[in-house]
Structure 1
């Protein structure tokens, strides 16, 4: 499955290293303003997304994590 993120923040966004370690494939370079980034999500998972703002020094960071449905 593909998940696309469009950067409309006007700021550069770094991608958290845990994005790749969760099994997602993507270009890990900085997402520039007005750029779209495609994340390839593993089969039988869905994207869980979190973004942090570390202020002017470190900027924005996004984590796209591959989650599985938990059956209770």
Structure 2
């Protein structure tokens, strides 16, 4: 009986639930840019310059902003 409980609990813990990445429009990300990213909305324009106009996740946009701000000046 105890062995069955251990086997069942080990089966249940092996499953991992992956949350879907929520994507937001550029306008929505710009409206919360100061609170979420700590930058002005214009920085988002620079970060996505030359990239396709699409919806972005928060972490994806944060990475684009960091890359843009840390890009060396020529």
TM bin (shorter chain): under 0.3
TM-score norm. by structure 2 comes to 0.26
Select the structure that is richer in strand.
1
Q: Computing the radius of gyration over CA atoms, which structure comes out larger, 1 or 2?
A: 2
Select the structure that is richer in helix.
2
Higher relative contact order, chain-length normalized (CA < 8 Å, sep 6+): 1
